[in-house]
Amino acid sequence: MKRLATVSAVGVVLAGSAVLGLAEGEAAPAVSCTFFRVHSADVWGFSVLSRVNLSNTAAQRIATLDYRVNAIAYSEDTNSLWGLSTRSTSGVFGDGAHVVSIGTDGDVIDHGPVRRVNELAFPNDWFTTATAGTIVGNELVVRVDAAIYRIDLDPASNTYLGVVDAVMTYPGGQVSNVDDFDVRNGVAYGVAADYSQSRVVRIDLRTGQVTRVATTGLPGSASYGVAVLAPDGALYAAANRIGDRSPVYRIDLGTGVATEVGSWPAVASADATACLPGVEPATTPQPTPQTPPPAPAPPRPPQRPAPVAIPPSPPVISPTPIPVVPPPPVAPTTAAPPPAVPPVPAASTKRPYRPQPTTPTEEPRTTRRASNPTEEKRQWGLTVMVLVVGAGAAAAAGRRRRR
């Protein structure tokens, strides 16, 4: 909702610190400050954007936005307004609060939900109850319950629109009703609302330490939705509703004395930016880059591609039948002719000379095996025939000798 004071602005504040602790009855000098305010008349209504002149608390209505917005802030780096939205004319966002940028003519650009870019825990409501926005550097700082979160608004950053820091405040229970704050030198100032007695608190945004500031004259209320640090060194705060009004108070941070300086109609919710630095904000809201730069990934070692199995090619079918060539015929095996049987001599009255019977020569055994069973059978049959014929010849010769 605010911006971090620049060095020159701090010098103005320090130079004007003499106004702290004004004498009783002394009027505060007129302050030159212009800021933007959003408010909703009821708990579901859309936000109305106004420009406020703090010197007389006059509010100039600009437009009713198409969004319900809270935690708004002005960014000098982008020269535009930023905030968080929970719903638009299309309905309630189902993915948590969206980061939006707002032009001074009422145009709104929705940048999408808050991104998770690290291991930091998100609030359970995903920022839908975030309040008390301010700008520190290029980060939107918001409060959710007792924690302070920082959202990166640098479009050139890898963590753009992501939560980059979270700090838990202490002691506990001191900031649960702080609905707006402004920042000076890294310390945020806001009003912790209470129905009996509201008071100013100081929050160290770096450590989360909360310190109460003794405050008088600040009435009880459910919420102080506007808190602006002015160049005169005072904190200006407005209650959302006290009766039918939204009174504005100037709180002297030196004495803690609160004085009413103006009022607006009562509202259900409100939030405000810091005083503008004298530069008119852009009428066009900050656009969203084409694509947020992704977080750099560590290089991966090169991997050898897995081998690709090549399926066997199917057989090619010829369009014409292929002739079948029969195998060459096997030449039949010719058995060796049986040996000639000597003729039987005719009977004679003379005793002829009887030569010694000739023993038939046994068929030499073949050294190789038959090439097939049929050939082997033929060879054995021939052998038997030779033996039979020889035996018969021998028997005939024996009979002739006995005669």
pLDDT tens across 269-282, in order?
999 999 998 766 66
Can you give the pLDDT at residue 367? 45
Q: Rounded distance, CA 47 to CA 387, Å? A: 132
pLDDT at 286: 67
Report the mean per-residue pLDDT for the chain.
79
Q: Give residue 174's pLDDT.
A: 94
Got the DSSP string for 351-395?
A: ----PPPPPPPPPPPPSS--SSHHHHHHHHHHHHHHHHHHHHHHH
Kindly provide the b/e burial profile for residues 33-59, where b requires at least 16 CB atoms within 10 angstroms of the residue's own CB. Answer: bbbbbbbbeeeeebbbbbbbebeebeb
Q: For residues 272 and 228, give the distance between their C-alpha atoms in angstroms, rounded to a whole number.
A: 8
pLDDT on residue 303: 52
pLDDT above 70 covers a percentage of the chain that reads 66
Q: What per-residue confidence (pLDDT) applies to 2?
A: 44
pLDDT tops 90 at residue 391? no
Does residue 385 surpass a pLDDT of 90?
Answer: no
- Cα 365 to Cα 76: distance, rounded to the nearest angstrom: 120
The tens digit of pLDDT for each residue in 219-242 reads: 999 999 999 999 999 999 999 999
Whether 352 has a pLDDT exceeding 90, the answer reads: no
Instruction: Give 257 or 304, the one with higher predicted confidence.
Output: 257
Q: What is the pTM of this model?
A: 0.66
